[in-house]
A and B are shown apart, each in its own frame.
Chain A
């Protein structure tokens, strides 16, 4: 008997862990009706709501990206005036940063997967989780409304332009209010994850037996909790300055605009690690599972996540080399920036070592995992170049920077998000998508992506500045811009293909087994989709990267536990099979 509400009992039959999925009630069918979704305390439903919202915002931000790229096809600009162009890249940046990349993996995938990976029934504070989602929605409404307010300051809201009363009147305050609310949604998610990982781990799962995705979510949550409040106060001060002219950042009133940049980047640099750390965690899972090989250097990868989280707070000044920061500080930040690359490099080498001599399954998710490694290397290395002050002085605010951060934010974070989406799609929806379509979409994406952004490295080093609606016809930029724009359209086709086969899978996709890819972490031990309270029996916790205990089963089209291997904790019950 199923009862509405969230703390009630569920009658899930006790069944062997690796039996195929049946038509039993799962979290999607457990209760029905709009109210049961809007007021749900189930982390899985909240994760799904985040997923849909984030993907919708991705569509919005992507449309503005295409507008920006289309504008630059001819030197005099094709479709927009200068002011409209300013608004277009501002909305693109704001929506993508605050509404897609920062919440993407933690809120959409993390909310769904984290408790299941821990064998828990929910996150530590389910009501806070729900509140966090609706706060996010409210923030999104405010931020998107800035489109109509004519926001044109760039997503960084630099002073003095953003406090200049003559700049777009209706845009700045709604936008910063939205970002403020989004920041708190992020903080509450981070708090929830930290407490869940500390307090809801099952017996046998010590810190160093957690899946690496959880390590990365933990490190991300630490950054979310420590850095986001500074964004909050920065935006609040900006709004008050703009509304009342109190003179904090306005030099005419004795304020200091560079102080705004210190405030802003103290959050925004750790924020880029909020973006990329969860993606790295996803990639650890993807590479290990689809190579069917134990992750190499588990402890190093785990510690490197923590190291990246801490180091990320020490390098914010590398965004300010050309802003009037003192040379002493620039040198300090430059030096520490070099060292931030070290933990990231450690991860890359460990992933490569994991793949070596593995039995690689060429699934779509694996393509994304490997694509991450390639694109992240490019993004990370170019970040090192920019960390050198003498180089940055020439390349700052050119397309080189644009290319660098797109390689890290899109080529790394977004790829991690999409790869994770493919990897956990069967778990979330209970359906398999078409692998061939997936591989085609990946190729379209990968080719289009590099066409779009690799050319921008060239553009930048030849001097094309960023945030410019037009450019000189005789500077040799147009060819690169045309290639870049064509690449962006190819990417768009790839994304629409992806949307197509995902939606199709919901209707005609093959039913997914509990463990279609052969993963060993706990989420693969419950049915696809999971039941309302995740597990009917306490799942067995062992080494989550030891894949030797699994075998492929044709009947269920998934991996099952081998009969001749005992489940952890039940060795005494195991009898030799006849």
Chain B
């Protein structure tokens, strides 16, 4: 079955004002249903910028973004795109908007036009899915870092996205929550693009790997990335 890609970037470039070099230079990227992409790279290489450009939070300087084959140009086009694309921000506190968990998770479904009862049902289903049933009335500011991350994930999943974009999802998580997150991502239908410098996690949730070098998207063979993974622990265990 060959469906049209959910999202396609063609020769997309982006540079911050007054910056000497572009962060993204003629990037091509396709995200198709069911795909599991991993984007690996150090801090500051443009991973978060790429996600912002993909979701229209930052306008691309050049190139074309296609949503199911149709070019996305206006804010209204991006609005339609965002109905299918869930982005999980790196900092959970940026994404939890309401004092109580249930209100926050239901915010997206309500924005999609669901009636309050349906939105609440979606929210409860999503909370259940990420293992947070019983958290509905909890106060957001009293949750742990890992719980906040799972609440934001439920908030995105409650909108039933066709593709999920994750920005450094494991930052600040303990190993147990990290494993739980990997487990959840293994059980969702949507295409997933995970951006991280945590190679072990990326290896758990993705099957195709990319990195950004000098603004260009480079495909990496999994074996090469394995080498990265083993190189990482060394500085922490000097011999």
Partners in one complex: no
- A-contacting residues of B (Cβ < 8 Å)? none
